[in-house]
Amino acid sequence: MDLTQGFGARSGVVGPVTGLESLNFSDEFRHLVATMPPENTGGSFTALLEMPVTQAMELLHFTDSSSSQARTVTGDIAPTTLHPFGALTFPSNSLLLDRAARFSVIATEHNGNISGETANSLQSNSGANLDRVKAEPAETDSMVENQNQNYSSGKRKEREKKVKSSTNKTKSSVESDKLPYVHVRARRGQATDNHSLAERARREKINARMKLLQELVPGCDKIQGTALVLDEIINHVQSLQRQVEMLSMRLAAVNPRVDFNLDSILASENGSLMDGSFNGESYHQLQQWPFDGYHQPEWGREEDHHQANFSMGSATLHPNQVKMEL
Amino acid sequence: MASADKLINTDVPEKDVFAFHFLQSLSNLRKQNPFDTPDQKNYRVRKIKKAAYVSMARAAGGSSRLWSRALLRRADKDDNKIVRFSRRKRKVTWKISSKRRRSNQRAPVVEEAAERLRNLVPGGGGMETSKLMEETAHYIKCLSMQVKVMQCLVDGLSPK
């Protein structure tokens, strides 16, 4: 067992400092640095990193104001008992916490089978606390409890990636369409790998657009369920296209009876109306329009047609101008 | 007609723009066929219908919408009289195959409806589902506007 061996080796080193409770924290550090094996070059903090998990945690306890806690922990430090971690109060010293997190990450690579789960929970705590400590130092306790309960498929990479990609576990999910990067909030207990995040973002995009379509099509907000709504939308599009076809048939039937001369009317509309895309080319076409004076004798007949047509309530084709021209 | 949704823009111009373009295309038609032959009614119907769609595409923002571009391109293939439109490079549709790698995760309900929509909405073949729904919303708005204009025209021109 790596941990016991390491601990055994270290315990020999720490032997002279068994009177830990009586020492101050700074004193203990100096002792540890002095008694470190010679291969640990570097500062005192890196020395701290080389030590096994339990000792690191024990040292962390010393940063607390209450030394009594530390005493109880040192009392039952054993290689296999990592249970005190359940009642941990993580210090708000972010630097130490960083080290602890990173170290515990390294530790699990060494201790494959021994404290696999507990170490994982430890690092999930610390991983989550990396987030929390930087934001809310006061609430580390409750967060620890939450993370312990919420331990789903919490692989280390995913947690770190989550921390880096700035997603938070909240109960709501928010999506933004405008930004080039979609920021998605994962719900509690959902997988956080890249694929499912992208899938979820995409699904939310589609749902937002479906809501838009629902408002557009009359009678769609009463329907429950996406399948029926989509059917309704498709029916609506088909009915609109059929209406266009029907009206064009009627127009074709009506058309030979009246030969309207649109040139004058359309010329008057030229300056006032804008193209949908504000495209300049359509204006060119209109300006090059030759003025044909054909079908003059029918002028009288089409007059009232024009007025009747364009002074209809909904179509706003400047009936005053039309009257002026004619 | 301002759209309430600020994120997805489905604004459509007012009715007179549609009416203007439709009448313009109709008179274009008229100039082509000065003899209105009553025997080939279907031919005329089809021409008017196509003129309606093309004018709708132009009115609704000629190149800024995918479906309008596809419509105009389709019309351009048949005859050049109604449409004056510069040819754009054909959008490569390999994108769909790359996105369908994980097709079992896309909701099959939505996907089959999207297939039907792609057949209905012009230019729907090369779009992702979310983009398709945006285009569908705009297309529905434009279609209803065009229907209103044509209804007015028919009512105005029909014999009393």
pLDDT digits (tens, 9 = 90+) for B80-116: 544 444 444 444 445 454 455 454 557 888 888 888 8
- Does any domain span residue B6? no
- Does any domain span residue B129? yes
Residues in chain A: 326
Contact A244 B52 (CB under 8 A): yes
Shortest alpha-carbon distance between residue B3 and chain A (Å): 10
Residues in chain B: 160
Please report which confidence band the pLDDT of residue A102 belongs to, taking 50, 70 and 90 as the band edges. low
Domain span at residue B25? 15-30+37-83+115-157
- Does any domain span residue B148? yes
- Count CB neighbours of B106 within 10 A: 17
User: How many domains does chain B divide into?
Assistant: 1
Quote the tokens at residue A119. Answer: 């170490």
For the ranges A181-185, A253-257, B68-72, the one whose mean pLDDT is highest: B68-72
Strand partners, A169: A186
Radius of gyration of chain B (CA): 18
Per DSSP, chain B holds a count of helices (H) and strands (E) of 6, 0
| Helix residue spans in chain A (DSSP H) | 2-14, 25-35, 44-50, 53-61, 67-75, 94-110, 116-135, 140-149, 156-164, 194-216, 226-254, 263-269, 281-287, 299-310, 319-325
| Distances from the Cα of A311 to the Cα of A265, A315, A322, angstroms | 13, 7, 9
Distance CA A296, CA A135 (A): 82
Contact B36 A241 (CB under 8 A): no
Please report which confidence band the pLDDT of residue A93 belongs to, taking 50, 70 and 90 as the band edges. low
Quote the tokens at residue A294. Answer: 């054909």
Averaged pLDDT for residues A288-298:
37
Shortest alpha-carbon distance between residue A174 and chain B (Å): 14
| Distances from the Cα of A191 to the Cα of A116, A187, A195, A199, A238, angstroms | 21, 9, 9, 11, 40
CA-based nearest residue to A90, from A80, A100, A104, A82: A100
Distance CA A84, CA B20 (A): 80
Please report which confidence band the pLDDT of residue A153 belongs to, taking 50, 70 and 90 as the band edges. very low
- Does any domain span residue B96? no
Report whether pLDDT(A217) > 60: yes
Contact B113 A275 (CB under 8 A): no
- Does any domain span residue B26? yes
| Distances from the Cα of A296 to the Cα of A260, A262, A293, B28, B156, angstroms | 10, 12, 6, 18, 20
Which residues of A fall within a CB distance of 8 Å from B121?
Answer: 237
> Looking at the partner chain, which of A176, A212, A240 has a beta carbon nearest the beta carbon of B144?
A240
- Count CB neighbours of A297 within 10 A: 7
- Does any domain span residue B9? no
Q: What is the per-residue pLDDT across B26-55, written as a single tens digit (0 to 9) for each? A: 887 777 765 556 566 677 778 788 888 888
Contact B49 A262 (CB under 8 A): no
The verdict on A190 touching B (C-beta cutoff 8 Å) is no
In degrees, to the nearest 5, what angle opens at C-alpha A262 toward C-alphas A260 and A267?
A: 165
Please report which confidence band the pLDDT of residue A186 belongs to, taking 50, 70 and 90 as the band edges. low
- Does any domain span residue B57? yes
Quote the tokens at residue A77. Answer: 């430090």
Shortest alpha-carbon distance between residue B88 and chain A (Å): 16
Residue A246's identity, in one-letter code, is M
For the ranges A20-24, A274-278, B61-65, the one whose mean pLDDT is highest: B61-65
Give pTM, 2 decimals.
0.49
- Does any domain span residue B73? yes
